[in-house]
Amino acid sequence: MNSDNTAGFGKWRSFFWPIHRWELRKFLPLFFMFALIAFNYNLLRAYKDSMVVTASNSGAETIPFIKVWAILPSAILLTYIFTRLANRYSREKVFYIMMLLFLAFFFIFTFVLFPAQEYLHPNELADKLQACLPPGCKGLIALFRNWTFTLFYVMSELWSTAILSVLFWGFANEVTSVGEAKRYYGLLTIGGNIAGIGAGQAASNFAKNFYVPWIPYGQTVWDQSVLFLSCTVIVSGLLTIAIFRWLNYHVIRPSELAQPLDLQPEKIKMSMRKNFAYLAKSKYLICIAAIVVAYNLAMNLIEVVWKNQIKHVYPNPNDYTAYMGDVMTVMGIIATVVAIFFTNSFIRRSWTTAALIPAVIVLITGIGFFMFTLSEQSGIQWIGAVFGTTPLMLSITFGSLQQAMARACKYTLFDATKEMAFIPLGIESRLKGKAAIDGVGSRIGKSGGSVIHQGLLLLLTTVSASTPYVGAIFLIVILAWIFAVFSLGKQFDDLANRDSKIDIPDPSPQPQLMKEGA
């Protein structure tokens, strides 16, 4: 039976549930794994921003410094660790090790670092640095002052890179064909988006409504909300590991054992330096990297400006987290609607069209956000009076709508089309290229936006003063994104139509081959 088609489906089932009965043993575990990982991702997003932006002597200007001086080196280190683990252990063992590494950190943060923050944060030294360095360095000093919060931010950000992008999608791409992906991935994003709604509501309720006096942890609602957050993340992570183990033992492993020995996948042992050389050899991989970098760069440019405005209205961490939770709820609702009614149909119709939609949405909503933020320069400040609100609240509201729509497109069309683009690659090309692109490419995009913000902050001191320049750079990035989509779309369609694979030559003269699991 060919699982790459919708034969035997009626019109409505082909649209809403194009899954064959014999595929449920593989599809449903993938669905629930993705939902749990996405739930943690969204929950951590709400808390990492609140923890850093509302911390002592901190603000949104801290985020660009964290992304350059903390997240980028950590992403490179994590990519190195992943590459070494992938060269030494099987795919299954790598998944367990990486998951347990993250869960162990959140346990240590909750029960060791967070309770002892007053003793661990070097406030006196940070005050001395603040007195002798320029005002534009405030964000860099806050990174150092609240280093435990910085570490939490880094690990929360890397969850999306290591667990969601590299581990889950890498595994899904390995066990899924192009035809299956066209039917599976849209449905997977629905699970992730519903999980996003749940995460938004959980973040909002943890921050506002959960305080249990008899629990011997913390003295405020915020303290206990951090406890509930971490316990939820840990439990979800353990459930993900259990589902992954069941899927491997009962579905994936039997099919692999049924293969002749010479048809089982081989593993090429390569250093991280060779991994990047591997990436540079392919125009196809470069186009995927360009799309990932452009998306993250564009969103980072907008995000810092938006979060800076939210801090002015919600300086308390509970209020800030609750607001971010509400934004994520709206984001999840929009993304779920898009995933149900549009993602599968667009992907099956045209990869290029589906991949182009997120770029166009980010462009339109981004222009609107900058116009409202710069209402005095753009001459539209009168709109606030029409709606009976201040220009600041109108800007925050439109920025929230921009984030919700752009992120909704990211979690549906962008992620699905990006992951599909990896499928025509050979097994090793897919593994190494994906690790480099998701592990470092996305960080380069975010860090690139942060470098731009840092330079402007050092020159202009405040986020508000640098906003016009950020808007101009944003437009250039979007145009580059659109160009990369068209280029990659032509290559992808050609490979899909010919049902062929790209095997990128190993940059080392004599690669060492090793059987998977050896």
DSSP string of 264-321?
A: SPEEEE--HHHHHHHHHT-HHHHHHHHHHHHHHHHHHHHHHHHHHHHHHH--SHHHHH
Between CA 323 and CA 220 the distance in angstroms is 18
At 73-85, the pLDDT tens digits run 898 888 889 888 9
DSSP string of 470-518?
A: HHHHHHHHHHHHHHHHHHHHHHHHHHHHHT--B-PPPSSSSPEEEETT-
At 372-410, the pLDDT tens digits run 888 766 556 656 566 667 777 888 888 898 888 888 888
pTM: 0.79
Asked if 405 and 365 touch (Cβ cutoff 8 Å), the reply is: yes
Report long-range pairs for 149-152 (Cβ below 8 Å, ≥24 apart): 149/51, 149/52, 149/55, 149/117, 150/52, 150/66, 150/70, 151/70, 151/105, 151/109, 151/113, 152/47, 152/48, 152/51, 152/109, 152/113
Domain ranges of the chain: 21-260+279-500
110 to 36, 113, 117, 199: CA distances (angstroms): 20, 6, 11, 19
Between CA 304 and CA 300 the distance in angstroms is 6
Distance of CA 194 to the CA centre of its chain: 16
The ranges of the chain with pLDDT < 70 are: 1-16, 209-210, 253-279, 343-344, 376-388, 435, 438-443, 499-518
Whole-number pLDDT of residue 512:
41
Asked if 473 and 452 touch (Cβ cutoff 8 Å), the reply is: yes
Whole-number pLDDT of residue 513:
37
Whole-number pLDDT of residue 15:
61
Asked if 369 and 475 touch (Cβ cutoff 8 Å), the reply is: no
| Percentage helix, strand, coil for the chain under 3-state DSSP, each rounded to 5 | 80, 0, 15
Backbone conformation region of residue 189, classed left if phi is above 0, alpha if psi is from -120 to 50, else beta: alpha
Asked if 431 and 175 touch (Cβ cutoff 8 Å), the reply is: no
237 to 35, 99, 108, 170: CA distances (angstroms): 11, 7, 15, 17
Between CA 477 and CA 487 the distance in angstroms is 16
Nearest to 193 by CA among 333, 41, 19: 333
Whole-number pLDDT of residue 331:
86
Whole-number pLDDT of residue 123:
94
Is it true that domain 21-260+279-500 has CATH number 1.20.1250.20? yes
Chain position carrying tokens 């890179």? 161
Whole-number pLDDT of residue 497:
73
Whole-number pLDDT of residue 268:
46
Asked if 200 and 331 touch (Cβ cutoff 8 Å), the reply is: yes
Between CA 318 and CA 122 the distance in angstroms is 24
